[in-house]
Amino acid sequence: MAGRLPAKRLGDYEVVSWLATGGMAEVYLARRRGAYGFQKHVALKCILPQYAQDPEFVSMFVDEARVGAALSHPNLVEVFDFGECDGELYIAMEYVEGTTAAKLVRAAAQRGGAVPVEDALFVVLSVLRGLDFAHDATRDDGSPLGLVHRDVSPGNVLLSRTGSVKLADFGIARAADIERRTEHGQMKGKLGYMSPEQVSGRDLDARSDLFTLGIVFAELLIGRPLFAQGQEIDILVRIRDADTDVFSKHAGALPDDLAAIVYKALARRPDDRFASAAAFAEALEEFARRRRLSLGAPRLSAYLEHLGLIRPTARSGEYRLGPVTGPVRASRVPPPPAPSATVPAVSYSVRLPSGDELGPLGLGKLIELVVSGDVPHEAEVAKGDGAFVPARDHVELRRLTTSSAHRWDAEPDDETEVWELSRDTLPARLYRLGVSRATGVLRVQSGARRKKVYLVDGQVEYATSTEADELLGARLLSEQLVLPVELDMALAMAPRFGGRVGDALIALGILRPIDVFRALYEQLRLRVSSVLSVEHGSLSFRPGQRSHEESLPQPLPLLELVTRGVATRYPDAELAALLAPSRHEPLTPGPRTAPGTSSLGLTATHATVLASFERPRTLDEVELELVSASLAEPHEVRVAAFVALSAGLLVARGSAISRVAASPPDTR
């Protein structure tokens, strides 16, 4: 379908017709006229209107023009000009009349076969020569440009009517001076034509392009997609594992030594591939010499005409498909090991107790709804096209739907203490649980927002929350420890690990065990300290109850987490208001049973503030003294004073905070 036509003219170029639309630009056939009847056809690439005001896309477009202008090689599409007309950016580049390698593979497959080895070799050798030039390109000062194409796919391999081969579209290429604008971990490239390191968000070098060209080569030789079939997650996992099963299954008619070259190009580890495009090309040239193969543009042009992909040329003739010279045997080259995990993406549907149905949902979204309580444990869930069964019958949901730690329905108990949540006394109640070495479950409820914190001897053993942004996956994404696609892979694998996403991430090799442990500890810290951000609701404690969940090896100190919550969740203006009644009344040291500054996790500056209260003094006096001496900032004085009052280190006469701090909870 034709795209929009821009203005009749863009700069010196007259727009003739629309050619194609890509991810961020459209391409038109244009003509430049000159003196004495001179004219030249070019491909005019224009940024799409919806991206014209996006700085990132504009930068990428400008980078493509800069990179293309620095590259002049017979196997690379040449960039002639770059300009702007009435606010519209354009790149004028070489117009290649012909077809693409993508159409070549499809046309060969429709005839029930693959591209002849000679023509496949010529196409790939031509691209390798262009890549070799691009990878070795330098700046004007002779320093390496460090270019990686990142999008070597069949659609970007252009085949002209005369049989020449040119690699196009450096739109997402990476050069050393462009990389600074590429977000860390951002995945660029076409689905099905990426390298394992590209899928995993790791650093790329020229060998990434060799892997993706290896995909193109394999598809030319077997006449079918290597990776680009099935669910997106399945495709990405197979690329990540360099799963060559499709090639192995359909490459039986290829010579062993040719198959070996393909396997080397498609090695999972960059170190196991060809060291450079030149080395890859040398291996193919040696194969062609051994087999006495006749390669060249005329043969390719004749084959394209034979398939009906180009109009006849002046030297058209009958094209004969001949066998590869030399003995042809079933390949005995051992393929790489089978991938460790190839898991298709599965959708879920939910039937609520009310009879309403939700879905289809990905596993990540379903887990979020179960954790938040929006999907009750009594709901029924269907996996894929399966029948609705109780949620607990799905192994990936069993732990969330059967564990009391993850249930949010009411659990009335006469021995449970319940308090109305108040911002002034909230830290004091939490500190008392830590000081009294309480064991049990702390419940926090504020509307639909709920949390449980399980304590053992005043230490935090486990915590659950209905907050979606406190899920492990959300934390890993926010910290940029994993890519969204990697998290999707782990979620797809989670059923094999009892629904534990962390275990799946380790098994997939995405994170090390130490990284997962750190993330789990930080998740636990977040869930506890964020209790200090709750503004209204109820607080309760049920003594003796344990989570019975698999907990981390080392519990976390509740006292330190509460202090962390005060420092990060109580704005300075709120602290000033809460401390206002104590500003002019002397604060006195608390009982000897109060915790020390070290167990509270206070900083050295906070300790200096508290040392100033060795005798009764007002908060105003201490703040003025320390701020004037540049020993503390006003906010640091307020944090230290509020923590000290809440923990019982300081006492304010008539203060509700001091009353709560002096009365331990019932922790029977």
- Catalytic annotation, residues: 151
Question: What are the CA-CA distances from residue 409 to residues 145, 169, 279, 466 (Å)?
Answer: 61, 57, 65, 12
Instruction: Give the whole-angstrom CA distance, residue 614 versus residue 222.
Output: 83
CB count in 10 Å sphere of residue 512: 11
Half-sphere exposure (Cβ direction) of 384: Cα atoms closer than 13 Å: 7
595 and 664 in contact (C-beta within 8 Å)?
no
Q: What are the tokens at 171? A: 């739109």
Q: Give the residue among 91, 75, 7 at the shortest CA–CA distance from 43.
A: 91
Continuous segment of H or E residues that includes residue 211: helix 206-222
Continuous segment of H or E residues that includes residue 455: strand 449-456
Q: For residue 45, give the DSSP letter.
A: E
Q: Specify the long-range contacts of residues 175-184, CB closer than 8 Å, at least 24 apart.
A: 175/63, 175/67, 175/145, 175/146, 175/147, 175/148, 176/144, 176/145, 176/146, 178/63, 178/67, 181/56, 181/59, 181/60, 181/63, 184/480
Instruction: Give the whole-angstrom CA distance, residue 416 versus residue 174.
Output: 61
Residue 116: asked if its preceding bond is cis (omega within 30°), the reply is no
Instruction: Give the whole-angstrom CA distance, residue 48 versus residue 327.
Output: 52
28 and 15 in contact (C-beta within 8 Å)?
yes
Q: For residue 444, give the DSSP letter.
A: E
Q: For residue 333, give the DSSP letter.
A: P
Instruction: Give the whole-angstrom CA distance, residue 552 versus residue 517.
Output: 8
Taking the alpha carbons of 254, 260, 261, 264 in that order, is the dihedral positive or negative? Answer: positive
193 and 152 in contact (C-beta within 8 Å)?
yes
Looking at this protein, which amino acid is placed at residue 51?
Y
Residue 603 CA from chain centroid, whole number: 36
Beta bridge pairs of residue 10: 13
Burial of 571 (0-12, 13-18, 19+ CB in 10 A): exposed
3-class DSSP assignment, residue 344: coil
Half-sphere exposure (Cβ direction) of 248: Cα atoms closer than 13 Å: 13
What are the E-state strand segments in 352-415? Answer: 357-361, 380-383, 389-390
Instruction: Give the whole-angstrom CA distance, residue 403 versus residue 365.
Output: 19
Which residues 6+ apart lie within 8 Å of 540 measured at CB?
A: 416, 417, 418, 419, 442, 443, 445
Instruction: Give the whole-angstrom CA distance, residue 401 versus residue 371.
Output: 9
3-class DSSP assignment, residue 481: coil
Instruction: Give the whole-angstrom CA distance, residue 6 versus residue 163.
Output: 31
Instruction: Give the whole-angstrom CA distance, residue 654 versus residue 582.
Output: 9
Q: What are the tokens at 456? A: 């053992």
20 and 92 in contact (C-beta within 8 Å)?
no
Q: Give the residue among 647, 188, 666 at the shortest CA–CA distance from 427.
A: 647
DSSP for 639-658, please give it: HHHHHHHHHTSEEETT-HHH
